[in-house]
Amino acid sequence: MLLRMAVCARLCGGGQSRRCRRRQRHSQADQDSDSEMDMDDEEEEERVVGKTKDEPEGSSCHNSRPSGAGALGSGDSASASAGPPHPQSLLDLPPELLVEIFSSLPGTALPNLALVCKKFRQILNTETIWRRRCTEEFGMRDDLRKMEIVGMSSRDLYVKLLHPYRHILGLWQPDIGPYGGLLNVVVDGLFIIGWMYLPPHDPRVEDPMRRRPLFRIHMWEKNKATIECMYGHKGPHKGDIQTVKKDEFSTKCNQTDHHRMPGGRQEEFRTWLEEEWGRTLEDIFHEHMQELILMKFIYTSQYDNCLTYRRIYLPPCLPSDLLQPGLFKGTYGSHGLEIIMLSFHDSKAKATKLTGDPNVPAGQLTLEIDLNCPVRLPDLEHQRSMEELSRLVLGVHEEAQRGLQARDAPSEAAEADPPQGAEGVEPGAAACSAAPEAQPFVLPLGVMTRNEVYPRTCKMCFYGTGLIAGHGFTSPERTPGLFVLFDDDRFGFIWLELKSFSLYSRLTDQLSHAQAPSIERFEAMLRNMQSWTS
C-alpha cells in the first residue's frame, strides 16, 4: 500500500493519492459543481477518455491545480491566461496522450498502473491499448477483426487468455522416454494451440515437416479460457494444463475414450502407422524395422492421456558460425527420420537429438564435429573407395587423439610443436574463414543410404564423431566419421563403422518465442537434455 501511494505521489507531482484528489477538488470549486464530481463511472469515463464537443478546454479535474491567486498580481493573471499552463505531471496530460503512453507499456505493467488512481483505471479500459498489446506482444493483427464479430474485447483476450498462458508459448520437448519429440505452442488466430511437429515420411528428408494438434485453449464459451485435448479422431474434448515448475508444464486428457477407435488396437495401430510412416505394415519387408515400429507404437500410446514437457531453446547464432545453427531433419536407418539441433561451440559443432530411438535416445549428442580438422577430399575416383576414405578419416582421428593426450599431459608437452596433420588434412580453423569453392562429391561404394538422390557437390568436409549404442542405450561409444557440408541448408555424415550415410535438411518453419535468453541458458539446457534420457 505504501509503495502504491508513493507511485501515485510521483505520478501526480504532489502528495498521496487521496490528498492529491482532494486538493484538485478544492481548486475546482469555482469551476465545477459537486454534482459534476460525483457523476457515475460511465459518465466520468466519457468525460475523461473522450471529450465532448461542447466541453471547454481544461474543465476536467486533472487539468486544474492550485492557482495561488493571492500571490499573483493582475499583470501576472493576464500573462497566465495568455496560454495553457505547462503540464506538471502525468495527470495534466490530455487523455489521448495518456492512451498513447499506456499503449507503449508492456502488458504486465498495466495492472499495477490501474492501481494508481481512478483516472488511470478508467483510461486503461480503452480498447486501443489492449489491441496494441495483443499485436506487439503476440503478433495478432487480422485476428483482432474476428473478435469484433464474436463480441470479444481485446482486453478480455489479453487478460483471460494470452497473458495467463504466455509462459507455455515456445518450443518444448515431451517426455516420451527415448523417443522425445518437438512441441511448438503458438498463438494461432483466437486460439493458443500446441502443435506436435513430426518429420516427413522416411526417407523424404527434404519434404516439409508435418504438424498434429495436441491441445488448444480458447475463449468461445462463458467468456473464460477453455482447454481442450485434440488427440484422437473424435474431435476436441476436455483437457487440463498444469504448470509443474519453471520451464515445465503437463497436459492431461479428461476424456480418454475419445482416443479409442471402434476397431480396437488393430485399427489404432493401422491408423498410427499410416500417419507416422505413410505406409502399411505389409509394405515394410524388413523384419527388424517392423519390430522397431511396433515397439514405438506400444511405448508412445501409453502417453496419450498425460504428458510432461520441458522448454527448449533455439541455438544462438554468431557471425563466425560455419552455417546458421537451427533444427534439421536427418535419416537414421531403420529408425526413420529424426529431428536434431545443430549448435556451435567455439571450434566444435554439435548435433543434439530432439527425437530419438531405443539405441540413441532423444537428448543425446549424436554428432560432434571438430572444425579445426577440415578434410580435403581426393578426386572422384578415389572418393568411391571406402578404404581411401577410411584411411583419410582415421588418420585425422589418430591426430585428434594425440592432441587430446598432449592437452592432458604435463605443461612441458604444451610447449612442444603442434602436430603437422595427416595427409588430406588442412590443419587450423583458418580453413573455415575463406568462402570455399564447391567440389565434386560422391559416396564410396558399399555405403548404405536411405536417399539415393543426394547432393553431388559439397563446400567443405570435417572430421567428426558419431554416437552409436546397443538397444537400450547400452555400450555407447563415439566412432569417427566424415561431416560433409553441402550448402547452407543441408549436410551429411558418413558413419565409418556402420558404413552408412545420414542426410540432414534444415527445418524451415518459423518458430517464435524460442530464442534463448543467453548463451549460458542455452548451454544449461543442453546439459539438462542429456540428463533427461541418460
Query: What is the pTM (predicted TM-score) of this model?
Result: 0.77
pLDDT given at position 415? 45
Q: What is the pLDDT of residues 430-460, one digit of tens each?
A: 444 455 688 999 999 999 998 888 999 999 9
Which of 124, 123, 152 has the alpha carbon at shortest distance from 140? 152
Is the sign of the CA dihedral 442, 443, 446, 448 positive or negative?
A: negative
User: Cα(285)–Cα(257) distance, rounded to whole angstroms?
Assistant: 33
The phi, psi pair for 88, rounded to 5°, reads: -100, -10
> Grid coordinates in use for 471?
538397444
Residue 311, pLDDT above cutoff 50: yes
Residue 167 has pLDDT above 70, yes or no: yes
Average pLDDT over residues 152-179: 88
Would you say residue 403 has pLDDT above 60? Answer: yes
For residue 42, how far is the Cα from the chain centroid?
42
Q: What element of type H or E holds 287? A: helix 287-300
Task: Average the pLDDT over each of 271-285, 388-402, 474-488 and give the range with the smallest value.
Answer: 271-285
What confidence score (pLDDT) does residue 95 get? 79
Q: What pLDDT does residue 235 have?
A: 86
Please, what's the b/e burial string for 169-205 (b: 16 or more CB within 10 A of its CB; e: otherwise)? bbbbbbbbbbbbbbbbbbbeebbbbbbbbbbbbbbbb
Query: Residue 44: is its pLDDT beyond 50?
Result: no
> For residue 107, what pLDDT is reported?
80
Cβ of 453: how many Cβ atoms within 10 Å? Answer: 9
- Predicted pLDDT of residue 147: 66
Q: In angstroms, rounded to a whole number, what is the distance separating the alpha carbons of residues 285 and 282?
A: 7
* Cβ contacts of 351 within 8 Å, gap of 6 or more: 328, 330, 340, 341, 342, 365, 366, 367, 368, 369, 504
Please determine, for residue 4, whether its predicted confidence score (pLDDT) is greater than 70: no
Q: Which triple of cell numbers denotes residue 223? A: 467468456
Cα–Cα distance for residue pair 72/65, rounded to 1 Å = 15
**Tell me, what's the pLDDT at 115?**
82
pLDDT tens for residues 500-514? 999 999 999 988 888
Lowest mean pLDDT across 69-83, 92-106, 196-210: 69-83
- Segment 84-90 mean pLDDT: 70
